[in-house]
Amino acid sequence: MPSVPDGRAARVGRRGVVLALAILAALPACNIDRLLNTKDKDTSNPGQITSASGLPSIRAGAISQFQVAFGGSAAAAGGGNEGQINITALITDEYVDLETFPTRIAVDNRIVAPGNGSMRGLFLDLSQSRVSAERAAGLYQKYDPTNVLRAEMLNLAGYSYLMFAENYCSGIPFDSVGLDGSVHYGLPLTTDSVYGRAFADFAAATPIAAADSAASGDAKGIEQLNLARVGRARVLLDRGRFAAAQAAADSVAPGFEYDVEGSTNSPRENNGVWYFATQLAFSVADNEGVNGLNFISANDPRVTSFNTGGPGFSGTGPNFIRELKYQTATDPIPLATALEASLIDAEARLKSGDIAGWATALNTLRAGFSTPIAPLTADSTTLASPDLRVTVMFRERAFWLYLTAHRLSDMRRLVRQYGRDQSTVFPVGTSVTGTPYGADVNFPVSSDETNNPNFHACFDRNA
């Protein structure tokens, strides 16, 4: 079973990464023939790459765009590029909104319309990430098919699809554009089909990375092989295939960690979670909406925070509680880790009835933390009711994986896989703004996608 990571074993990209894609938040999401346009003189357009020499630039662009979509950035000076981590934290119980953007307040209130401006930008950023990674993978396949960096691009495409499946409604269309600029409008896909696309990318990356690592013991090959394994395990867990998820998770190397790196070279490269915290926008939540976890009052070393002693950007309301998981613009954000693999293994043990093994797995992680955490007691694990054990499992995931874009998927799984009513899982009652919470448990497809003649609306907004 993989152990808790003992350091920053792997990094995404490098400081000073060349920016390959401009943020085009004002463009319709379906105009993907414009998604890859750039005014950066140091960057090559995909259609201009005619040899392997151009591949580093297109890879750098895909990494840059994934960073923006996943963790956000400071490029829009707080007016956009929030990233999946921040916005999923708002709709769940990780964050409360203490600033003035009505579109983000609506997300915090669980009332998310397709035309919500913040959500349109978020959808576009993730769409750009997917397209950029897929185009890069295709160019590597054409010019350097055995290069392990092709596996990296496939993995980033897989994680883009994974975030669509975990965080959005069923019925997402995925358009594509050829190197000649021709646009192909996609058909809406069910959530399970989107998971299938993610799994296919991870499966395609696996033999490339395995061959590279087997041939030379190359660290990049080993890194990408483990990244694909965690991705596959996560998809299988989301699909409810617990035994298969456990097998994939148990193949992940101890200490593995793949991070999305921040930089101070440009606002676009800043760690976006850190940035929005510095803007007094998104505050750490505590028992949000009755059902939320006590991320502050638990005084748990896995979720550290700081009470600023004053309100957020809005100037009213409760004191702003700043997260301390990411403390600088350059702090890396974990995308996939051996820790996550261990949590998947633990949940699979719980699901199979191996209660003693499950409790041991969780307590092993606690003992291995930098500041050892007191072990879980028998009355919350081995002697607990089955329902309480599930609660403990998901609480442990919430504290270990805080602000890494896992919480929304986990809350949806509690409804979908464990039969809990969403009113017992998601914040309910009255929000910090005094508005009653809505009933949304995911994000809608952006209204911009109605330009796609194949798309009309989500199939459903179920968990």
Q: Average of pLDDT values for 332-353?
A: 98
- Here the tokens at position 343 are 């949590």
Domains in the chain and their CATH numbers?
14-267+330-451 (1.25.40.390)
The whole-number average pLDDT for the span 354-377 is 97
Residue 330 exposure: Cα atoms within 13 Å on the Cβ side: 7
- Sorting pLDDT into bands at 50, 70 and 90, what band is 181? confident
What confidence tier does 186 reach under pLDDT thresholds 50, 70, 90?
A: very high
pLDDT at 42: 39
pLDDT tens, residue by residue, 414-450 = 999 999 999 999 999 999 999 999 999 999 999 999 9
Whole-angstrom distance, CA of residue 309 vs CA of residue 370: 28
Report residue 178's pLDDT band, with 50, 70 and 90 as the boundaries. confident
Lowest pLDDT segment from 24-33, 145-154, 353-362, 448-457: 24-33
Condensed to tens digits (0 to 9), the pLDDT of residues 84-98 reads: 999 999 999 999 999
* Confidence at residue 216, expressed as pLDDT on a 0 to 100 scale: 77
pTM for the model = 0.91
Structure tokens at 231: 């991705």
What's the whole-number mean pLDDT along residues 185-212?
A: 98
- Residue 219 CB: number of other CB atoms within 10 A? 13
Q: What percentage of the chain exceeds 90 in pLDDT?
A: 86
CA distance 130 to 124: 10
Chain mean pLDDT for the chain:
91
Per-residue pLDDT, 47: 66
pLDDT value, residue 37: 38
Query: Is 395's pLDDT higher than 50?
Result: yes
Question: What is the average per-residue pLDDT within 127-138?
Answer: 96
* Pairwise CA distance, residues 455 & 449, whole Å: 7
**What is the pLDDT, as a whole number, of residue 176?**
86
Residue 42 per-residue DSSP state: T
Average pLDDT over residues 60-89: 97
Residues 9-27 have pLDDT tens digits of 333 333 232 223 232 333 3
Per-residue model confidence (pLDDT) at position 177: 76
DSSP string, 45-102: -GGG--SGGGHHHHHHHHHHHHHHHHH--STTTTSS--HHHHHHHHHTTSEEE-SS-H
As a whole number, mean pLDDT of residues 309-323 equals: 97
Burial class (CB within 10 angstroms; exposed 0-12, middle 13-18, buried 19+) of 433: middle
Rounded to 10 degrees, the C-alpha dihedral 103/109/113/117 comes to 10
Question: pLDDT-based confidence at 168, cuts 50/70/90?
Answer: very high
- Tell me the average pLDDT across 224-242: 98
Rounded mean pLDDT, 86-114: 98
* Lowest-confidence segment of 75-79, 160-164, 211-215 by average pLDDT: 211-215
Average pLDDT score over residue span 315-335: 97
Residue range 258-296, pLDDT digits in tens: 999 999 999 999 999 999 999 999 999 999 999 999 999
